[in-house]
Structure formats: structure tokens, C-alpha cells
């Protein structure tokens, strides 16, 4: 896909997320877009969306959250003439979160990702699916409004091993 198409899709994701978050409010969940940069060789950026739901309280200031996510890895295809790479990631993470003050929390990440890799060449197409284990850390800022920014560092261990640094916006419920 062209870079303009992905810019339009990313803009639509950021615009549509508050509307989608309204539907998640009844379940006590938060929803938001994220933008990550791959620190290894490979994708230029990762555009995604995540949903966080509290799974279980773990004491006064701690809890366990579950986070399903969808990511698209944006490649600069211009360097490989005739090749078009697409990588999608579906993830399911457990987040162990605990408050470190009245306006912030930190969390550890452990989970699994499924990567769908496809390449289109002048000779034909190929698709592959890989699985990896996610590990990482992050922080979320608990603002007074409906918007809660977060940032994280996450690595995947497996056949596909991205190391991602970035953040996003969660819409509080």
C-alpha cells in the first residue's frame, strides 16, 4: 500500500478512537491508538490500536489488566524494487499495573503476539505466520480528563523479534 493510504488510515484511527471508546465505557475499558518505532532494522513505524480491561485487582494500588491489540508495521518499500511487504501483529498481553503516585502508574508487560507476514513480488506472493512472546515495561499518566497518554518499551522473543519504543493515547472511561 502507498504511504498516503497509511497516513489516511492512521488519521482515521486517531479520529475514530474517541467514538469507539464510547462503546467500551460500559465495560470499564479504555481504548486508544498507538504509534511505535522499531529500534531494530525493519519497519519504520508501527501504527496500532489497543483495548485495556481490568482483569483483577491485586491490592490497593495494583491490578492485572488484559490488553488485546492490533498493529500494522509500516515499511519503506521504495528500496526494494518490485517488492511489497506487509506485516500485521495481533497481540494479547497481561499488564501488571501499579500506581506510583496520584497521577501515574507503571506496568510490566507479558503476553503473546501472532505476526502475519506477506510479500508480493513480480514472481508471486508469499504469506507466513509467526508467534512470539512479548515482554516490556511502560507508564501511563492518569490525567483528570478523558485522555491518558502512555509510553512503553516492548520486545518480542521468537522468529520475529521487534523491539518497539513508543506511546499512545488512551481514552478514559
Q: Are 14 and 34 in contact (CB under 8 A)?
A: no
pLDDT at res. 74:
84
User: Rounded mean pLDDT of 22-44?
Assistant: 71
Q: Which of 36-45, 52-61, 86-95 has the lowest mean pLDDT?
A: 36-45
CA atoms within 13 A on the CB side of 173: 18
pLDDT at 9 over 90: no
Structurally, the chain folds into a number of domains equal to: 1
User: pTM higher than 0.85, yes or no?
Assistant: no
Is the pLDDT higher at 31 or at 162? 31
pLDDT tens-digit series, residues 157-168: 998 888 999 999
Supply the mean pLDDT for the chain: 82
> What CATH number is attached to the domain comprising 112?
2.40.160.20
pLDDT at res. 122:
77
Domain of residue 71: give its range: 3-171
pLDDT at res. 102:
85
Count other Cβ atoms within 10 Å, centred on residue 168: 21
User: Rounded mean pLDDT of 2-20?
Assistant: 52
pLDDT at 44 over 60: yes
d(CA 111, CA 119): 26
| Angle at CA of residue 138, ends 132 and 168, nearest 5° | 90
Q: Are 170 and 30 in contact (CB under 8 A)?
A: yes
pLDDT tens-digit series, residues 63-116: 999 999 999 988 766 555 667 788 899 999 999 999 998 889 999 999 999 999
d(CA 147, CA 30): 10
pLDDT tens-digit series, residues 119-143: 887 788 888 999 999 999 999 998 8
Amino acid at each position: 500500500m502507498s504511504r498516503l493510504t497509511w497516513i489516511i488510515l492512521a488519521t482515521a484511527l486517531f479520529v475514530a478512537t474517541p467514538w469507539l471508546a464510547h462503546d467500551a465505557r460500559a465495560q470499564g475499558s479504555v481504548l486508544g491508538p498507538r504509534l511505535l518505532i522499531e529500534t531494530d532494522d525493519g519497519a519504520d513505524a508501527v501504527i496500532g490500536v489497543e483495548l485495556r480491561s481490568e482483569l483483577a485487582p491485586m491490592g490497593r494500588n495494583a491490578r492485572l489488566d488484559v490488553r488485546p491489540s492490533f498493529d500494522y508495521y509500516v515499511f519503506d518499500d521504495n528500496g526494494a524494487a518490485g517488492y511489497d511487504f506487509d506485516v500485521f501483529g495481533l497481540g494479547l498481553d497481561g499488564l501488571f499495573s501499579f500506581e506510583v503516585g496520584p497521577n501515574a502508574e507503571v506496568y510490566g508487560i507479558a503476553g503473546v503476539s501472532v505476526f502475519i507476514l506477506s510479500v508480493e513480488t513480480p514472481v508471486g506472493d508469499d504469506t507466513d505466520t509467526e508467534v512470539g512472546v512479548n515482554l516490556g515495561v511502560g507508564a501511563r499518566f492518569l490525567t483528570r480528563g478523558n485522555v491518558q497518554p502512555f509510553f512503553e518499551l516492548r520486545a518480542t522473543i521468537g522468529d520475529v523479534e521487534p523491539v518497539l519504543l513508543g506511546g499512545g493515547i488512551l481514552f478514559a472511561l
